[in-house]
Structure 1
Amino acid sequence: MLPMELRFARQTALPQLGEEGQERLGEATVLVVGCGALGTHTAEILLRAGVGRLILVDRDLVEVTNLHRVSLFTPADVGRLKADAAAEALLRISPEATVTPHVAHLGPDLAAEIIPGVDLVADGLDNLETRYLVNDVCVKHGIPWIYTAILATYGMTMPILPGAGPCLRCLFPDAPPPGAIPTCAQAGILGPVPPALSALQATAAIQVLAGTPFPPGRLFYLDLWAGRAETTQVERAADCPCCRRRRFEFLANPPRAVSLCGDSVQILPRGRRRLDLQDLAVRLARVGAAQVAGDILLVSIEGVTMTVFRDGRAIVKGVLDPNRAQALYDQYVAG
């Protein structure tokens, strides 16, 4: 028996998977969107299960508050780009795999470029707007994806199989208004919740990739603290704007300001840009503190902090109102 065959011997012994299912995993490409707790745990499980290629997309930096729930990151990773740090850690676990990091926000252009070429998308996101975009592209191109979300002590997950069952907008037709749902900074996150929900997400992904998916529309809810698990059957909405009417509104008109987990808002530039961070730092140093660190600019101004990227993106921390974050960006970065 070859070493690789030996590595997955306990898994191929499962009648639900077998050697054929394991081969399908090895040939699969999975996109993991978001490299926080949910995304990194899911990526690690899929990698250890034998998925041959992972694509990681994340726009943010590792923070010390990530460490209590992300097993791939160590204190030495604080301040590094999440996608790069996660990719390096995963390749140490399985050097023969292909792991491709993208340090970027998953906007319409990148989503339309990457998603049609993968076998499945796994959800490691922290906002509903980007999930709606993923849903649009996956439904449009018939790519299965696993919706998964966590908060406080609970989470939920549902495989979305375009054409065979409901999509995300059948479950949540419209995004709630800003502030209607507490963020993880407000409600907290219990450390065991991300790996528990990631295990459910990864299992659903393995089933899809192996050709034996969950029944479409099965929404699984788990509250670890309460010890409660529930399953709900979600049906396709007769008037769903996405999977019925095929109106891909988030692909066509993405929001520029996106509220993130915590007191942060991401601002996306209009069109493609490439900033001269050194020049911007000189200008902003007249009204606040500004320091270039590699490919990012760290700014403290008007009681908030901004992380500005070369492509024009910015993450504004210390702000809950997307409109104020957009105004600060327009005043100090876009202006």
Structure 2
Amino acid sequence: MHTELLPDTPHGREKAAAILRAGGLVAFGTETVYGLGADARNDRAVTAIYAAKGRPGINPLISHFTSAEAAFTQVMPTLLARRLAARFWPGPLTLVLPRGVDCAISPIATAGLPTAAVRVPAGGNTRALLAACGFPVVAPSANPSGRVSPSDAAHVLAGLEGRIDAVLDCGACRVGVESTIVDLSGATPVLLRPGGITLEALEAACGMPVAAPQAHNDSRPSAPGQLSSHYAPGLAVRLDADTIGADEALLAFGQPLPGSTLVWNLSEREDLHEAAARLFAGLRFLDMEGHRRGLVRIAVQPIPGHGLGRAIRDRLVRAASPRP
């Protein structure tokens, strides 16, 4: 299969939509990362996403919509869900809610769970593509399962060339880490995955604490991004480094540790928004160049645990976890 690179123009988006309508797979940029899109209603197309990525079938997918009204036709929204949608959509927030009576999302996309994960992405061009489709589009990150998420079209092609039909080149992603996922299917909101909406902003909008997730179960995740090993480069990852070894590349934050010969600085001015946007590109660069130089590990300087730092640390902890 040849993977076609499409421009983010009205003609390119219409061609991408035509491929999706025909049951094909198209990667496209959102404000978070590039997603690998398929018709959420089409069992065969959804199954093809799992095959192209090598993704476990137990790992559910997020369905993307043009508006909150469209999303809420597929699930049973609570008052809190409507409040959060009004505050954060379009944007990097995913809500997990009970499937609606007439939910058209494939049970394969929800991994057989009684809930569905829905979001309205930011970016007029992204929503223009969704509007051209006229149906919900599932779109996990457009990379081989468990590996570093893609933040530009070249990253997608590096991992999925020949496995998918097309990539809609939407440029670099602005946020750079995946959406925050909140489970609203129970009595209290639960944070399933930190992401582009901070916990502090989320709790302010909820007017109540948002519970931390229970220990994740790799055999039955309730949302994407919960597997213990995820977002992983080929090189091993060492967290909270205060020294650097001769065989290590350095993922820096602020002033780099002395002694490293290969450095990617997430943010010299210690700006967490800049760091999030540069995270996945940095892991990819250090992995590729580190392999070329014969290095064995990526050492990561400490990242604060507040604001977007919570999402960055979550990705790095999973990148550092033992590989299955």
Normalised to the residue count of structure 1, the TM-score between the two structures is 0.22
Pair member with larger Rg: 1
Higher helix proportion, which one? 1
Normalised to the residue count of structure 2, the TM-score between the two structures is 0.23
Higher strand proportion, which one? 1
